[in-house]
Amino acid sequence: MPSSRAIGRIGDLSSITPWLPGRILDFGPGDGWPSLEVASFVEEVVGVDASERRVAECARNARRIGVQNASFIHVPAGNPLPFEKQTFDGSVAASSIENSPDPEAVLSEIFRVLRPGGCLRVSYESLRRYRGGQEREAYLNFDHLPHAAMVIHERHIEEEWAR
């Protein structure tokens, strides 16, 4: 059975097909996923993130792998998106809307910048599991059988680091 990460990637790529070759907004691209994977299928991808550090990382990753039609913009949390109405053909948001201070306002902003008939593909991560000291996670990754890897995440959400 494919991993949830693989299923998510298939969902991100298949969800953009109605917008080809349009402009896509990626809300909260993190390190560039799915922006950098989606870029080869569309005219342009614009990623917006509340973290200047992540915007810089996305840009570095785009340069590193030669993606030229993706750009990344810092938008402080809670601020409106810096785009005119009906700018994008579609939008993806992978585990990012729930991290914003006001998810409903974020969704309103995303819908404001979508063109009529545009689609939004959202994946949502429940943050409840991180409450009460649950910022640590360990699991086995079987994506590269016959080998497995132990993955350990330690998150410090306020200071924005993970290892």
Q: Rounded distance, CA 76 to CA 25, Å?
A: 16
Where does the pLDDT of residue 13 fall: very low under 50, low under 70, confident under 90, or very high at 90 and above? low
pTM score of the predicted model: 0.72
pLDDT digits (tens, 9 = 90+) for 67-94: 999 999 999 988 999 999 999 999 989 8
> What residue type is assigned to position 143 of the chain?
D
> In which element (H, E) is residue 150 found?
strand 149-156
Residue-level pLDDT at 150: 66
Q: How confident is the model at residue 19 (pLDDT cuts 50, 70, 90)?
A: low
Q: Could you tell me if 54 and 31 are in contact, meaning their C-beta atoms sit under 8 angstroms apart?
A: yes
The three-state secondary structure class of 152 is strand
Note the pLDDT tens digit of each residue in 91-145: 989 888 877 888 889 999 999 999 998 888 887 766 555 555 555 566 666 666 6
CA atoms of 19 and 152, how far apart (whole Å): 36
Q: What is the mean pLDDT of residues 18-33?
A: 85
Burial 136-147 (b: 16+ CB within 10 A, else e): eeeeeeeeeeee
pLDDT score, position 163: 47
pLDDT greater than 80 at residue 4: no
Domains of the chain from N-terminus onward: 4-123 (3.40.50.150), 133-162 (no CATH)
